[in-house]
Chain A
């Protein structure tokens, strides 16, 4: 009698402990994010005290009388605020879309970069720059480029009637190679004095110039897929049980899969629209999240979003404050991301086997 009792109790306490741990981590992150947000709003090269930054933010929100210079307000509200919001949005979006791709394709190597989304979006943007189109079109093209790339990557294994992970990896290499060639061609024909610099700006991720007006139209394209993914997360778990089991549990396997991939792609493409390509976040942060709260997507996705947002916010603030000249953000994400990924793989080596 003792044996079955023990057996049934142990997992239950395990689940409880997991849940407690999840809520604890969630709580810490949810608290940390606004603290960092305010801290980052208070630092920068323009001389403005933290107290004044906060008063300006409060004053602008409530419409209180202004006793600060208009230029100071411009710096806090017009430069720092959009930049901070953008880095949080992009970091969170890349992380949650990376987690989604990894869950859907059941492949720990997959990331937004890997599926060619970022490269495709850059090509879209670069084509629009070549055509001398306006900023709105550049974003639209970036978006379509990202979609085309991910569709190509996902379609190649299907054309070869293969569901294997290796095939998806190879497909990613094929599409990635093609994309870099097209990008190389665009750079080759671009006018070196004008267009090339703008194209480079897109491919080298940067938050150095974020305008609130440019970000607002993209916001719904980020928020809607974000909420959809959080709702879908339970079904992504079900899919990971395998097609037969998922169907027997009432899941619309194909529908869920397509919807989740579409949402993740929208998030990545929107991120590229805001900041250009930023590597490593979409790959490493989901793994870090899994290390903290386990592989269950309903827990992983919100955690990944929060960690991604915090990570990129901190990294961007470091790039704009640590040196006299601003450092390209991809240098830091790579410097932190690559060794960290190695460490994660080392710790997860048993699970991967």
Chain B
């Protein structure tokens, strides 16, 4: 008996401990983008793996040699480690800049020890600065390193120009530095007090934040997507990535190593240790906001319950993070997709409109009329059945209308929340088979598995467009929709995606 109890306990503990993600071989395709180094076209032997570009260190050192960001590469066979010496001119070994590959290859994840070092001017000895954690893959015997992580380590700018499909390396600027915001003396230690500015957060609080916020932290899972849309990964120093984490880890693998400041509610001791420049709180985290503020860390509150919230949150983040341009650009993309969705369905006559509901975490539980998910149906030209039932509306999200009520409505389409775990049971249940939606094959999980489009966030607009495609396929074909998704992710997240990857 005691054994049985021990067994159960160990089973419970075992199953709940975090399982390490096993690295698997993946496909590498030759980089299709052009590469500009300080404006000049250079043909690199580089590969695109999962949307990121990977380069050989010796190629980069060869090309950057002579620039202010030049670095030497030493391989120490004894310790099997690579040493990058900042500021040293590169000594070629002869195998640099081989012709770019033409076919897709198999990439094997490798763990190379890369050391960042600095040469001493006095005696030419080398001082180790840090051990780098670079993402690397072995392709045909050569190691290829994530360009962004190398740029970050050696502090040169890496940028992606979507329109030109070009990657540009700029040694005149540091990594992550905006072209218009070149600091005069990046190397001199800044002793003057940092400049502050006042922003008004979504709770209406006036908050003093740094004008040049360098690091943000959040314990709220919903913040990740919003921050990322405005500032990319480089400002996120600690956070609860929650569901969106899978996508972020794909876009930027090192993000898996960011710090932890709590899940849902803030861990004050952890945030006091990490001292981010800004804490981003959910509007309901009142105690957390107070605690963080007392620690001298600025905290702003956001809401993301509906479309208006998302727009306001992104605008606010643009101001607070000093990335107004990016925020405006992201919102422009967001509105463009929504406008397109509305335009596509504008001329559908009332009698041809499709009725729909969105079902939540258990069968019979649905989004009520005022909830964002129901508004998405309306935006996509559908008739949100619950809109006619204000008695179901409540302050909280989701309402247990009951399965029988859904049968009484018999909607044309039933959308299911991305994470609906009951979908298999439902599809096999003979009782459900007589529903119109089931017979039309229109009981559908809202995509995508990697980045749920019916959760309030920047990609909510794709959820609306997807609903247009599913409710009125002749208005928007699958190909057109796929293209819209690729364009949107490229614009907002600077990464190439496909349906298989996102899971839809």
Contact = CB atoms under 8 A, between A and B. Distances in A.
Contacts of B363: 208-209
B430 A78 contact: yes
B22 interface: no
B5 A74 contact: no
A13 B238 CA distance: 80
B389 interface: yes
A79 interface: yes
Interface in B376-417: 389, 391-392, 394, 399-405, 407-408, 410
Contacts of A214: 425
Nearest to B240: A192
A206 B419 CA distance: 20
Interface string A181-199: 0100110110111110110
Contacts of B421: 129, 194-195, 197-198
Contacts of B425: 135, 211, 214
Contact of B422 (A71, A151, A209): A209
Contacts of B389: 324
A182 B9 CA distance: 9
Contacts of A123: 12
B8 interface: yes
A145 interface: yes
B78 to A, nearest CB: 43
Nearest to B402: A326
Interface stretch (B144-152, B321-329, B432-440): B432-440
Contact of B243 (A145, A185, A193): A193
B264 A44 contact: no
B419 A197 contact: yes
A45 B242 contact: no
B221 interface: yes
Nearest to A214: B425
Nearest to A144: B8
A251 interface: no
A74 B400 contact: no
A192 B264 CA distance: 10
13 contacts: A71-B435, A75-B407, A79-B431, A127-B11, A191-B243, A193-B452, A193-B455, A198-B362, A209-B362, A209-B422, A325-B399, A325-B400, A325-B402
B93 interface: no
Interface of B: 1-2, 4-5, 8-9, 11-12, 15-16, 221, 242-243, 263-264, 360-364, 389, 391-392, 394, 399-405, 407-408, 410, 418-419, 421-422, 425, 428-435, 452, 455
B364 A74 contact: no
A346 interface: no
Contacts of B405: 45-46
Interface residues of A, number: 52
A155 B1 contact: yes
A326 B431 contact: no
B15 to A, nearest CB: 5
Contact of B221 (A46, A192, A201, A212): A192
A207 to B, nearest CB: 10
A127 B12 contact: yes
B245 to A, nearest CB: 10
Contacts of B422: 209
Given A152-B5, A193-B452, A46 B404 contact: yes
Interface of A: 44-47, 69-71, 73-75, 77-80, 123, 127, 129-131, 135, 144-145, 148, 151-152, 155, 182, 185-186, 188-189, 191-195, 197-198, 201, 206, 208-209, 211-214, 320, 324-328
Given A74-B430, A201-B361, 19 more contacts: A69-B434, A71-B435, A74-B433, A77-B431, A79-B403, A79-B404, A79-B407, A144-B8, A152-B1, A192-B221, A193-B221, A193-B452, A194-B419, A197-B360, A198-B421, A209-B364, A325-B392, A325-B399, A328-B400
Nearest to B2: A155
A201 B421 CA distance: 11
A53 to B, nearest CB: 12
Given A211-B425, A325-B400, A197 B431 contact: no
A119 to B, nearest CB: 13
Given A194-B419, A209-B422, A325-B400, A182 B12 contact: yes
Nearest to A191: B243
A183 to B, nearest CB: 10
Contacts of B434: 69-71, 73-74
A151 B431 CA distance: 39
A78 B429 contact: yes
A75 B431 CA distance: 7
Given A71-B410, A192-B221, A320-B404, A326 B432 contact: no
Contacts of B392: 324-325
A328 B402 CA distance: 11
Nearest to B243: A193
Contacts of A152: 1, 5
Contact of B16 (A189, A212, A328): A189
A152 B5 CA distance: 7
A212 B425 CA distance: 11
A293 B463 CA distance: 61
Given A70-B434, A74-B407, A193-B242, A211 B429 contact: yes
Contacts of B11: 127
A150 B364 CA distance: 33
A214 B389 CA distance: 32
B417 to A, nearest CB: 9
A191 B242 CA distance: 8
B12 A209 contact: no
Given A47-B408, A71-B435, A130-B15, A197 B361 contact: yes
Contact of A324 (B391, B403, B418, B429): B391
Contacts of B15: 127, 130-131
B5 A211 contact: no
Nearest to A44: B404
Contacts of A325: 392, 394, 399-402
B209 to A, nearest CB: 28
B403 A208 contact: yes
Nearest to A320: B402
